[in-house]
């Protein structure tokens, strides 16, 4: 094969792109990844990982401020925001170079520059206005990710109105902050900044925060966040942001048209993301897009033969593990294997605020809407020995079963470490587990996971510890 020819070229090296390229190499393909910025994409550099590093700091800071609850004394607890940010950036750097090593180990070529489709099986790559090269590939995967959605009139300016990029690297700690949007990104930043001492207001257009979660879970999370001092305005939107010298005055309007002005040091705009589909050379292809996202067939194939799309650019849920899994499925299909198509119902979602939130499958409302007669189980953290020992008694595990078949339809959790627990239910759902099998499973004691067992038992009137 000629030097610039590949079996597969992936444009974008986020968790979708780099995983797809590595799997392709494992399957014997000659693979390359084109990346215009940094290996690992948003996830490793500006998303999942650096936020979790920041949230680890705020979690520890929160515990230190309650040291007395554990019989400890911690005086003059404070922080240096520059060091907090540096730690987060260092964690990202470590993983970014880790991706570089993995690609090298798997003999995936990394092409530094911006990739563009340039006719059948062709990719042009440019960097800073200069041509890097023309490349050929039998298959091309677009894994170009997404960027913050801009609300008209509230355009981010990097200084007073931030997106997640600036919110991740504050030079000073704002005293007050308004977060637009209460999805996972907005709520994680709200949680970080509040725990670090800022006055935080969250404004959400919909009636509840974390709108994709089960209504009971988002209501529970809301109460906990409000208890921590976060002000939450739902059914409301920011209609105007007047910038001063070092502050922003936001006009917030509720559903009835009543408006109020809220003056804050900084605004974080976290009202969703939009796909990176511009300058990709899509115009001369059959690739179809819908509201800025590329349409695919469930295996990543677009309407243009040989061109595929995965990850955020191929639509929701905008999650790293969805991007990676889509990458693997897409490459397996290209290789002629027989992968399962993506079942979006089985993609877990996690929010790493305090308390954490994690879920998989149908909410109770969705299950009923889909025509299921349901049995629902609950178990509160206060009934679990490990949770009490940890000093983490606020939380709940909820399970939703089909009444007729006993199939687990969904699981929803709020509380400490639930983002680590949810995987148990994900495996169960993948195996189409019923209530009987879950009841017969033995959970180790003392663990938070026992609540997962108890929630199942509760759905069938058999919970022991509550």
Ligand X SMILES: Cc1cc2nc3c(=O)[nH]c(=O)nc-3n(C[C@H](O)[C@H](O)[C@H](O)COP(=O)(O)OP(=O)(O)OC[C@H]3O[C@@H](n4cnc5c(N)ncnc54)[C@H](O)[C@@H]3O)c2cc1C
Catalytic residue numbers, as ranges:
445
Assess 13 for contact with ligand X (CB under 6 A): yes
Assess 92 for contact with ligand X (CB under 6 A): no
Assess 358 for contact with ligand X (CB under 6 A): no
- Decide whether 15 or 156 has the Cβ nearer to ligand X: 15
- Decide whether 174 or 300 has the Cβ nearer to ligand X: 300
Give me the helix-helix angle, 17-26 and 320-334, nearest 10°: 30
Assess 11 for contact with ligand X (CB under 6 A): yes
Contact 424, 418 (CB under 8 A): no
Contacts of 103 (CB under 8 A, 6+ apart): 13, 18, 21, 22, 33, 39, 110
The reply to whether omega before 446 is within 30° of 0 (cis) is yes
Assess 348 for contact with ligand X (CB under 6 A): no
Return the range that interacts with ligand X (CB under 6 A); candidates 138-146, 301-309, 393-401, 439-447.
138-146
Minimum CB separation from ligand X for residue 294, in Å?
11
Phi, psi of 152 (to 5 degrees): -60, 135
- Considering only residues 318, 408, 409, 429, which one is a binding residue for ligand X as defined by CB under 6 A? 318
- Decide whether 187 or 203 has the Cβ nearer to ligand X: 187
The CA distance from 294 to 280, in Å, is: 11
Assess 114 for contact with ligand X (CB under 6 A): yes
Pairing of strands 273-275, 259-264: unpaired
Count of C-beta atoms within a 10 Å radius of residue 262:
18
- Decide whether 115 or 377 has the Cβ nearer to ligand X: 115
Assess 204 for contact with ligand X (CB under 6 A): no
Minimum CB separation from ligand X for residue 290, in Å?
17
Assess 285 for contact with ligand X (CB under 6 A): no
Return the range that interacts with ligand X (CB under 6 A); candidates 68-76, 295-303, 314-322, 385-393.
314-322
Assess 319 for contact with ligand X (CB under 6 A): yes
- Considering only residues 108, 143, 334, 413, which one is a binding residue for ligand X as defined by CB under 6 A? 143
- Decide whether 312 or 332 has the Cβ nearer to ligand X: 312
Assess 185 for contact with ligand X (CB under 6 A): yes
- Decide whether 34 or 438 has the Cβ nearer to ligand X: 34
Assess 126 for contact with ligand X (CB under 6 A): no
- Decide whether 11 or 376 has the Cβ nearer to ligand X: 11
Return the range that interacts with ligand X (CB under 6 A); candidates 82-90, 240-248, 319-327, 367-375.
319-327
Return the range that interacts with ligand X (CB under 6 A); candidates 57-65, 315-323, 355-363, 368-376.
315-323
Assess 186 for contact with ligand X (CB under 6 A): no
Cross-strand partners of 127: 130
Return the range that interacts with ligand X (CB under 6 A); candidates 36-44, 90-98, 102-110, 216-224.
36-44
Assess 276 for contact with ligand X (CB under 6 A): yes
- Decide whether 16 or 383 has the Cβ nearer to ligand X: 16
> Tokens 């119902």, residue?
345
- DSSP-derived letter for residue 416 is T
- Considering only residues 121, 145, 156, 415, which one is a binding residue for ligand X as defined by CB under 6 A? 145
Minimum CB separation from ligand X for residue 251, in Å?
26
- Considering only residues 93, 240, 321, 465, which one is a binding residue for ligand X as defined by CB under 6 A? 321
Assess 164 for contact with ligand X (CB under 6 A): yes
- Considering only residues 34, 196, 238, 248, which one is a binding residue for ligand X as defined by CB under 6 A? 34
Assess 36 for contact with ligand X (CB under 6 A): yes
Q: Which two tokens mark 461?
A: 């009137």
Assess 320 for contact with ligand X (CB under 6 A): yes
- Decide whether 135 or 220 has the Cβ nearer to ligand X: 135
Assess 42 for contact with ligand X (CB under 6 A): yes
Contact 311, 323 (CB under 8 A): yes
Assess 115 for contact with ligand X (CB under 6 A): yes
Cross-strand partners of 250: 241, 262
Residue ranges binding ligand X (CB under 6 A): 11-17, 34-37, 41-43, 46-48, 51, 114-115, 143-146, 164, 185, 276, 280, 311-313, 318-321, 323
């Amino acid at each position: 094969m000629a030097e610039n020819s590949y079996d597969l070229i992936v444009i974008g090296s986020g968790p979708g792109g780099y995983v797809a390229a590595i799997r392709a190499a494992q399957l014997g393909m000659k693979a390359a990844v084109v990346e215009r910025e940094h290996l690992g994409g948003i996830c490793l550099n500006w998303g999942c990982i650096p936020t979790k590093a920041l949230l680890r700091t705020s979690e520890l800071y929160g515990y230190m401020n309650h040291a007395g609850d554990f019989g400890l004394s911690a005086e003059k607890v404070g922080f240096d925001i520059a060091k907090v940010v540096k730690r987060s950036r260092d964690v990202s750097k470590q993983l970014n170079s880790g991706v570089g090593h993995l690609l090298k180990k798997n003999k995936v070529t990394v092409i530094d520059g911006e990739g563009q489709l340039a006719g059948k099986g062709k990719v042009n790559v440019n960097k800073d206005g200069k041509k890097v090269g023309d490349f050929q590939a039998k298959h091309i995967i677009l894994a170009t990710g997404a960027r913050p959605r801009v609300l008209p009139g509230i355009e981010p300016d990097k200084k007073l109105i931030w997106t997640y990029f600036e919110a991740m690297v504050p030079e000073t700690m704002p005293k007050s902050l308004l977060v637009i949007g209460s999805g996972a990104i907005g709520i994680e930043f709200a949680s970080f900044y509040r725990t670090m001492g800022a006055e935080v207001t969250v404004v959400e257009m919909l009636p509840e925060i974390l709108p994709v979660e089960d209504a009971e879970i988002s209501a529970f999370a809301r109460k906990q966040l409000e208890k921590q001092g976060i002000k939450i305005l739902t059914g409301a939107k920011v209609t105007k942001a007047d910038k001063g010298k070092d502050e922003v005055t936001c006009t917030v309007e509720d559903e009835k048209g009543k408006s109020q002005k809220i003056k804050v040091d900084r605004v974080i705009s976290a009202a969703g993301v939009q796909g990176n589909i511009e300058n990709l050379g899509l115009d001369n292809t059959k690739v179809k897009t819908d509201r800025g996202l590329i349409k695919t067939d469930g295996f990543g194939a677009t309407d243009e033969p040989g061109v595929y799309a995965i990850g955020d650019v191929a639509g929701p849920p905008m999650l790293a593990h969805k991007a990676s899994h889509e990458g693997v499925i897409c490459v397996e299909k290209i290789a002629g294997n027989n992968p399962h198509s993506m079942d979006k119902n089985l993609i877990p979602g996690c929010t790493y605020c305090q308390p954490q939130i994690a879920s998989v499958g149908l909410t109770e409302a969705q299950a009923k809407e889909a025509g299921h007669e349901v049995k629902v189980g609950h178990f509160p953290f206060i009934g679990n020995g490990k949770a009490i020992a940890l000093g983490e008694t606020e939380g709940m595990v909820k399970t939703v079963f089909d009444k007729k078949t006993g199939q687990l339809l969904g699981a929803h959790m709020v509380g400490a470490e639930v983002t680590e627990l949810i995987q148990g239910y994900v495996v169960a759902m993948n195996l189409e587990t019923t209530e009987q099998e879950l009841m017969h499973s033995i959970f180790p004691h003392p663990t938070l996971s026992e609540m997962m067992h108890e929630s199942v038992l509760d759905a069938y009137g058999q919970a022991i510890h509550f």
